[in-house]
Structure 1
Amino acid sequence: MDNSQLLHVLVALALGMLIGLQRGWHERNIRAGGRIAGIRTFGLLAVSGALTGVLLPLLGPGISIAIGLGITLLLGLAHWLDSGEDHDYGMTTVIAGVITYLLGVITLVGDLNLAVATAVMTTIVLHFKQTLHRALEHLSDSEIRGILQLALISAVLLPVLPNQTYGPWGALNPYEIWLLVVLIAGISLTAYFAMRLTGPDKGVLITSLLGGLASSTALTLSLARMNDRLPLPRLLASGILLAAAIMYPRILLEVAVVNPGLLPELWPTMLAMTLGCAASAFWFWRRKEPFGRIDTSKVATQPFQLLPALKFGALLVVIMVIAHGIQAQMGEQGLWLVAIVAGLTDVDAITLTLARMAKGSISADTAVTGITLAAITNTLVKGGLALFAGHWSLCRPLWPGLALAILLALLTLSLI
Structure 2
Amino acid sequence: MIFEATTLTGLGVAFGCGLLIGVERERSKGSGPTRAFVGVRSFALVSFMGGLAQTLSASMVLVAALLVLALSVISHWRDRSDDPGVTTELALFLAFLLGVNAIGNPAISAGAAVVVASLLNLRGPLHHFVRVTLKSGELRDALILAGAALIVWPLLPDKENAWLLGANPRRMWGLVLVIMTMQGAAHIALRMAGPRMGLALTGLASGFVSSTATIATMGQRYRHEPALLGVTASAATLSNVATYILLLVVTLTIAPDHVGHLAPSLGSALLATLLISAWRLRSASDGATRRGQRIGRAFSIRQALIFAALLSGATGIVSYANAYLGATAAQAGAMLAALADVHAAASSILSLAASGTVQAPQLVPTFLLAVSANSVSKLIAAASGGKRFFVAVAPGLLLMLLAMWLPYMLSQY
What is the TM-score of this pair, normalised by structure 1? 0.65
> Which residue is 2:68 aligned to?
71
Q: Distance in 1 between matches of 2:41 and 2:402?
A: 63
Q: Distance in 1 between matches of 2:394 and 2:32?
A: 70
1:133 is displaced (CA, Å) by 1.5
Q: Say yes or no: does 1:91 pair with 2:86.
A: yes
TM-aligned CA distance change 1:53 to 1:392, over 3 Å: closer
Kept in 1: contact 2:51–2:101 (CA 8 A): yes
Alignment length, in residue pairs?
376
Kept in 2: contact 1:17–1:39 (CA 8 A): yes
* Letter in structure 1 aligned against 2:275: A
Q: Distance in 1 between matches of 2:62 and 2:108?
A: 20
Kept in 2: contact 1:323–1:335 (CA 8 A): no
> Which residue is 2:135 aligned to?
140
Choose the corresponding residue for 1:191, options 165, 175, 186.
186
Q: Distance in 1 between matches of 2:406 and 2:93?
A: 58
TM-aligned CA distance change 1:284 to 1:240, over 3 Å: closer
> Which residue is 1:218 aligned to?
216
> Which residue is 1:12 aligned to?
14
Q: Deviations over 1:360-396 (max 9, x none)?
A: xx99957x99999877644454456668824997479
TM-aligned CA distance change 1:207 to 1:328, over 3 Å: same
Q: After TM superposition, list the pairs within 5 Å mapping 1:308-387 onto structure 2.
A: 308-311=303-306, 314=309, 318=313, 340-341=335-336, 343-344=338-339, 347=341, 365=351, 377-383=373-379
Kept in 1: contact 2:237–2:397 (CA 8 A): no
> Which residue is 1:38 aligned to?
39
Q: Alignment partner of 1:187: what SS?
A: helix
Q: Say yes or no: does 1:107 pair with 2:102.
A: yes
TM-aligned CA distance change 1:126 to 1:374, over 3 Å: farther
Kept in 1: contact 2:72–2:92 (CA 8 A): yes
Q: CA RMSD in A?
A: 5.4
Q: Deviations over 1:130-153 (max 9, x none)?
A: 112212223332112111112222
Q: Deviations over 1:4-46 (max 9, x none)?
A: 222223223333322223223334x536994333333323333
Larger radius of gyration: 2
> Which residue is 2:210 aligned to?
none
Choose the corresponding residue for 2:279, options 274, 277, 283.
283
> Structure 2: which 5+ runs fail to align?
207-212, 355-362
TM-aligned CA distance change 1:43 to 1:165, over 3 Å: farther
Q: Distance in 2 between matches of 1:143 and 1:172?
A: 31
Q: Deviations over 1:140-175 (max 9, x none)?
A: 32112111112222344455667x64657xx87766
Choose the corresponding residue for 1:23, options 25, 43, 46.
25
TM-aligned CA distance change 1:69 to 1:103, over 3 Å: same
Q: Deviations over 1:96-146 (max 9, x none)?
A: 222222222333345x55434433332332222211221222333211211
Q: Distance in 1 between matches of 2:369 and 2:60?
A: 63
* Letter in structure 2 aligned against 1:105: V
